[in-house]
Structure 1
Amino acid sequence: MPSEYAELMNAIFRDRPWDASPEAHTHEGGDGAPARRPPRTPKGVTVEKIDLNGLGGERLTKRGNAGWVLYVHGGGYMSGSARERREVCQYIADMHGRNVMSCNYRLAPEHLWPAQIDDTLAAWEGVLARGVDAADVIVAGESAGGTLALSLAFALKERGMAQPGGIMALSPSVTQAESLPSHSANVATDYLLRDAVEKGALRMVYGGSECTEAFLRSPVVSPLYGDFAGLPPVFLSASDTECLVDDARVLYQRLCEAGHPAALDVRHGCPHAFQMFPRMPEARDALAAGFAFFDRYARA
């Protein structure tokens, strides 16, 4: 049964007008909605604004932490910012022993693909320019940010660049070329996305009707069709009532068939991208499962 907090968030999204954005639309690497008060910073965690290779972002650190997370925000490539994800990033820094850098990227509709992946790649280079070892970084993100975390690995592979130590894709979209059963089956229970996935809303960001089938099946756009050989372990998380749950399930199945190190965590009755709300018990459990997976893999 979903937690009370999960039910509360479902109710909030259910009652929200369909044309209302879940967060303030920000552009050019902005800092988010100035009217929204930032969450309280946990004791011992330090939050700083940083520049990641020309992109705005935040660094969240805690004494004694080892390793890093590069967190890429979601928002359908059209909204969100590093500041808007401060709550989950500072929770990771506080509870999971890893410092975090979070990045902004250019947003649609003013900036269409490949602006988003180009900026994520620039942020990755910015992290490494700070002297961080690639193998010590987990690239994480929710929704479109989870897709970008996966896409980044293929962009790095194409360029022969160093891979991160892990990918944590939370409620990602993994295919733009085909419809999966949950895209339509869960429309009535996904109060945040509703029928946006079924209608292919993200295709506008990729160029709409001008997109070819070959383009939509390219791994950087649709990670489902990529060869994960040489890529890091992948942790996938989703809710069984969201439209993108089959994206996580199908990708996990393909990774298992290929013998690639992967884990899948599915929670019940939560909203899309619930992992960005660490006050939700299911979000805390999903994040804990993800970091435990990477810790086990590192020990092995």
Structure 2
Amino acid sequence: MVEKSLGKNGEWGEMTSEAIQTLLLANAHTAYSLAILVHSLPIEIKSTKETVDFKAMFTSEIQDLSVDINPEQLKYSHNVVIPAAPPSTLRGHPKDTLDLLHASQGQWIPRYIHRFKRQKEGVWGKWNDTQAGNKVYGFEAVKAFWYTGEKAEPAEASKPRQMGDPVMLHFHGGGYLCGTAAETDLTSSIPKALVNHSPIHHILSVDYRLAPTAPWPLPLLDAISAYHWLVQTEGVEERDIIVAGDSAGGHLALALTRWLRDEGATVGLRLPRGMVLMSPWADLGFTNAWGEEAIRHNKDSDTIDDTFGPFACALLLRALPAPTMHTSQYISPASLLIPAKTNGKESFENFPPTYIVYGGAERLSTNIQLLWDRIQLGRQKQMVPDRLFVSPDGVHDFMIFPWMAEEASAVYEDLDVWLRDLLAAELTEDVDHVDVQSEDQEEDTGWRDMITKRRLNRQMTRESLKSHKSPVMGPVRDDLGMMRMMEDMSEEGISMIGTGLPIPHFDLEMPKSPEWLTPLTAELRPEYGFDNEEIPWYDLDGSPNDEDRKDR
């Protein structure tokens, strides 16, 4: 166990799974989670001209995955439906946790979320699956978007990919609570920028299932389906794939890569060429925030609210035993309650080359730094060294925010160099790999010509990567981009869960760089117009009921 110094009130002591859970649940009684507020309170605030629907504004990025986006409205991407991976692919951690998910049906109680009479039967509504009966969870078809550059016209096809061209498999951020792979989402600025400012011009961003309706390991199953489809159906070789993600998407990229290392060979899948992690969430059990100083780390500079992480974790892991978040290397690879090792399943042994970027002003910086240290601990010989990029003034996931475009540009320029070195490196298999499968194939002139052409293509690709550099991202001015994004999402049928509220039209004469739009910073929340004591505590899963409501 890990010892931390006692705080002023004696609340900090020995770090244990039980102590962390107790503290977080206690805080849930006294601290409002913005995520809870926007799902439960009909709050409005006043702009200079009109009323802004606060609730719709901060939940507009929660996508109704049943709504198909009109392809005619897509300017940067092409939508695609990825089929479910075959049942034979379900192995290891995903299978074990899926079995636990099924075994605990009817008993899913989100931790760290305060609710009046929390033990009362049925109080957790849609966050439990009692209404679904004996539903069988598993692999399902998943929606995704190909980013290959801006279209000249709506009907334009995606850019053709030549054999050997690199592909990025990207997972968006949002704490497993919100966000989409759609181009109207704020996190889509990452694949849009990478297509133009990196050597990778084909990026598949995945709309994996989200925690409010899909607990762990269902997001991981969607990630496996996407990787399997790229390799087995689209014919993309693993050595041409870079797995990437920001925030929660970085966590998902880590989990997928670990599963490929542990189970991939058994199901005919190899590890990707490399991994790119942007502000990855690597300690879902909050061990790095244990201690009076640790919990305040970068609190005044970051965009993450105290209770957003616990709220997200409560929903994501509600079907699993509580200690899992502290003891599973798939769920919390940077947990202080997991011993650091140089080899074995709990280590990062044999992980592909990795690029990590984070902001010096973000609250997750300590767990990301620990993640980096543990990756280095498991390293042996590498064809390309790992790379850590720290942007001194960057907040969490700073690369998605238009007002941090200058910091993001520096990252893309640095990442371009690293990706070119990685993709241009000659793999051992390029020299030693035997393409001939049988004597019949060896005598097949057409087959041998194809192999020769493929090798020449790869050689030309490597030479091009070495001799070129991607354009540097110029200045970005998009003070009202978030507002336009939300209106676009409304037009595409993307709205908050459980309601058909439209996204409002915002006052276009609001001050530039409106900091109050930052959704997760407690200190920057707008005035609601009434005292906290007057805020009613609504049941999150239905209409308010006097017996199940507590005025706070």
Counterpart position of 1:55: 142
Structure 1 residue 108, shift from structure 2 partner: 1.8
Q: Deviations over 1:209-239 (max 9, x none)?
A: 9534355322221233532222211111111
Opposite residue 212 of structure 2, the aligned amino acid is: P
Does the Cα contact within 8 Å between 1:52 and 1:127 map onto a contact in 2? no
Counterpart position of 2:248: 144
Distance 1:228 1:70 in 2: 20
Opposite residue 78 of structure 1, the aligned amino acid is: L
What does 1:252-291 align with in structure 2 at a 5 Å threshold? Answer: 252-259=372-379, 261-277=385-401, 280-291=405-416
1:292 aligns with 2:412: no
Which secondary structure does the structure 2 equivalent of 1:141 belong to? strand
Residue 71 of structure 1 is aligned with which of 157, 170, 173?
Answer: 170
Counterpart position of 2:302: 190
Counterpart position of 1:97: 199
Distance 2:212 2:333 in 1: 22
Which secondary structure does the structure 2 equivalent of 1:296 belong to? helix
Gaps of 5+ in 2: 1-33, 39-57, 84-140, 150-158, 339-345, 426-552
What does 1:174-189 align with in structure 2 at a 5 Å threshold? Answer: 174-181=282-289, 183-189=295-301
Distance 2:423 2:240 in 1: 10
Counterpart position of 1:11: none
Counterpart position of 1:204: 314
Distance 2:422 2:198 in 1: 16
Structure 1 residue 64, shift from structure 2 partner: 8.6
Does the Cα contact within 8 Å between 1:29 and 1:104 map onto a contact in 2? no
Does the Cα contact within 8 Å between 1:31 and 1:82 map onto a contact in 2? no
Does the Cα contact within 8 Å between 1:29 and 1:56 map onto a contact in 2? no
Does the Cα contact within 8 Å between 1:68 and 1:137 map onto a contact in 2? yes
Structure 1 residue 126, shift from structure 2 partner: 1.8
Distance 2:189 2:405 in 1: 12
Does the Cα contact within 8 Å between 2:81 and 2:143 map onto a contact in 1? yes
Opposite residue 154 of structure 1, the aligned amino acid is: R
- After superposing on structure 2, the runs of 4+ consecutive aligned residues of structure 1 that deviate more than 6 Å are none
> Which region of structure 1 is more displaced relative to structure 2, 152-161 or 202-211?
202-211
1:116 aligns with 2:116: no
1:243 aligns with 2:347: no
Structure 1 residue 29, shift from structure 2 partner: 6.7
Larger strand proportion of the pair:
1
Does the Cα contact within 8 Å between 2:171 and 2:253 map onto a contact in 1? yes
Structure-2 change in CA distance of 1:23 and 1:286 (3 Å): farther
Structure 1 residue 70, shift from structure 2 partner: 0.9
Does the Cα contact within 8 Å between 1:28 and 1:105 map onto a contact in 2? no
Which secondary structure does the structure 2 equivalent of 1:200 belong to? helix
Which secondary structure does the structure 2 equivalent of 1:297 belong to? helix
What does 1:10-25 align with in structure 2 at a 5 Å threshold? Answer: 19=37, 21=58, 23-25=60-62
Which secondary structure does the structure 1 equivalent of 2:243 belong to? strand
Residue 130 of structure 1 is aligned with which of 210, 234, 244?
Answer: 234
Structure-2 change in CA distance of 1:81 and 1:274 (3 Å): same
Opposite residue 68 of structure 1, the aligned amino acid is: V
Opposite residue 284 of structure 1, the aligned amino acid is: S
Does the Cα contact within 8 Å between 2:197 and 2:412 map onto a contact in 1? no
Which secondary structure does the structure 1 equivalent of 2:194 belong to? helix
Structure 1 residue 145, shift from structure 2 partner: 0.4
Gaps of 5+ in 1: 1-16, 42-46
- In our comparison, the structure showing a higher alpha carbon Rg is 2
Does the Cα contact within 8 Å between 1:174 and 1:222 map onto a contact in 2? yes
Does the Cα contact within 8 Å between 2:171 and 2:181 map onto a contact in 1? yes
> Which region of structure 1 is more displaced relative to structure 2, 61-70 or 91-100?
61-70
Structure 1 residue 146, shift from structure 2 partner: 0.8
Opposite residue 370 of structure 2, the aligned amino acid is: V
Structure-2 change in CA distance of 1:157 and 1:27 (3 Å): farther
Does the Cα contact within 8 Å between 2:199 and 2:420 map onto a contact in 1? no
Distance 1:170 1:31 in 2: 28
Structure 1 residue 23, shift from structure 2 partner: 4.8
Opposite residue 174 of structure 1, the aligned amino acid is: A
Q: TM-score, normalised by structure 2?
A: 0.45
Does the Cα contact within 8 Å between 1:67 and 1:137 map onto a contact in 2? yes
Structure 1 residue 290, shift from structure 2 partner: 2.7
Q: Tell me the matched-pair count.
A: 273
Distance 2:284 2:424 in 1: 35
Q: Deviations over 1:135-177 (max 9, x none)?
A: 1111111110011111111122232231111111111111223
Opposite residue 288 of structure 1, the aligned amino acid is: E
Opposite residue 211 of structure 1, the aligned amino acid is: P
> Which region of structure 1 is more displaced relative to structure 2, 17-26 or 90-99?
17-26
Distance 1:80 1:282 in 2: 22
RMSD of Structure 2 on Structure 1 (CA): 2.8
